[in-house]
Amino acid sequence: MSSDLSPIDKAKFVAAKRAAQFVTSGMKVGLGSGSTAAWLVQCLGERVRVEGLAMTGVPTSRRTAQLARDVGIPVMSLDEAKTLDLSIDGADEFNGKLNLIKGGGGSLLHEKIVATASERMIVIADASKRVETLGAFPLPLELISFGWQTTKALVEETLIGLDVLGRTASLRMNGDAPFATDEGNYILDLHLHRIGDPRQLSMIVNQIPGVVENGLFIDICDAIVVGYGDGRVEVTDINDGSIEETRFDFVERDNIFAD
């Protein structure tokens, strides 16, 4: 029952439902990873089943690929698709310029590649992800496993000269073993608390040997769809400066996760 959803889940659901409306038949769509993106895949699957929406998904993770198949969305690789009409993904943080921190789920490399291969990127989020200044959420770096401790030391040394409040770095773990991405890489989480110059930080850390990519998405997002627990949805387009607000009513038929 939709009434059983928490306010955060309701916010994610209505944001995903609104974002799914941007997809039209014939589109090749990048499908993000994480809990919010999972709602999107479910909403798109419903449109495929009920409306006959003809689309192809390009997933950013194995988990998203399996979910897409489960709900009836045809999938292909980015190499097969080459370019995408649209990508839709979640974010761990976003600011007023629609710059993002992503990678809490560990798929930042695939997500960034897919987003930059898309004509347009739309981010879906609940209002708690909005911040004045990026950095409260740990910034993920994807590292190759070889010599990761040396890479970590180089990263921490580099942070001394950058405009951040914290400089602690921790290897992300999965139980007793390092967390591994779909590419078999490690994730180093940077606890920076505040990032004064995200563009500078992104450029500099990517120059460190062993760093594959970072979770800062700068000038990539075109629009953000923010959901609220009361059913309101706010769409902000960075290109034309427009802000559109709509509302979804919660009724039983809206609950796409009902048994």
List the CATH code of the domain at 139-212: 3.30.70.260
In the chain, what percentage of residues exceed pLDDT 70?
95
Q: Please indicate if the annotation marks 151 as binding a ligand.
A: no
Secondary structure of residue 116 in the 3-state scheme? helix
Residue range 188-203: mean pLDDT, rounded: 98
Distance CA(21)–CA(8), nearest Å, equals 21
Residue range 134-154: mean pLDDT, rounded: 98
H or E segment and range at residue 204 = helix 198-205
Q: Please indicate if the annotation marks 52 as binding a ligand.
A: no
Query: What's residue 202's pLDDT?
Result: 98
Query: What's residue 113's pLDDT?
Result: 98
> With contact defined as beta carbons under 8 Å apart, do 129 and 92 qualify?
yes
Residue range 90-111: mean pLDDT, rounded: 97
List the CATH code of the domain at 2-131+219-254: 3.40.50.1360
Looking at residue 196, its amino acid is G
Phi, psi (degrees; rounded to nearest 5) at 173: -115, 155
Distance CA(210)–CA(142), nearest Å, equals 9
| Cβ neighbours of 67 (radius 10 Å) | 22
DSSP one-letter code for 215: S
Phi, psi (degrees; rounded to nearest 5) at 86: -160, 145
Closest by CA to 238, choosing from 213, 217, 209, is: 217
Query: What's residue 4's pLDDT?
Result: 80
Q: Please indicate if the annotation marks 91 as binding a ligand.
A: yes
Residue range 211-217: mean pLDDT, rounded: 98
How would you list the strands of the sheet with 139-143, edge to edge?
168-171, 186-191, 139-143, 211-214
Q: Please indicate if the annotation marks 168 as binding a ligand.
A: no
Task: For residue 3, name the pLDDT band (cuts at 50, 70, 90).
Answer: low
Model confidence over 119-140: pLDDT tens digits? 999 999 999 999 999 999 999 9
Provide the CB-side half-sphere exposure for 188 (13 A, CA).
28
Closest by CA to 229, choosing from 104, 126, 101, is: 126
Secondary structure of residue 254 in the 3-state scheme? helix
Domain ranges of the chain: 2-131+219-254, 139-212
Distance CA(136)–CA(35), nearest Å, equals 19
Q: Please indicate if the annotation marks 26 as binding a ligand.
A: no
Task: For residue 253, name the pLDDT band (cuts at 50, 70, 90).
Answer: very low
Q: Please indicate if the annotation marks 103 as binding a ligand.
A: yes
Catalytic residue among 111, 119, 142, 245: 111
Q: Which two tokens stand for residue 10?
A: 């309701």
Residue range 159-173: mean pLDDT, rounded: 97
Q: Which two tokens stand for residue 245?
A: 């607000």
Q: CA 190 from chain center: how many Å?
A: 18
Query: What's residue 250's pLDDT?
Result: 67
Q: Please indicate if the annotation marks 33 as binding a ligand.
A: yes
Active site residue 111: yes
Mean pLDDT of the chain: 94
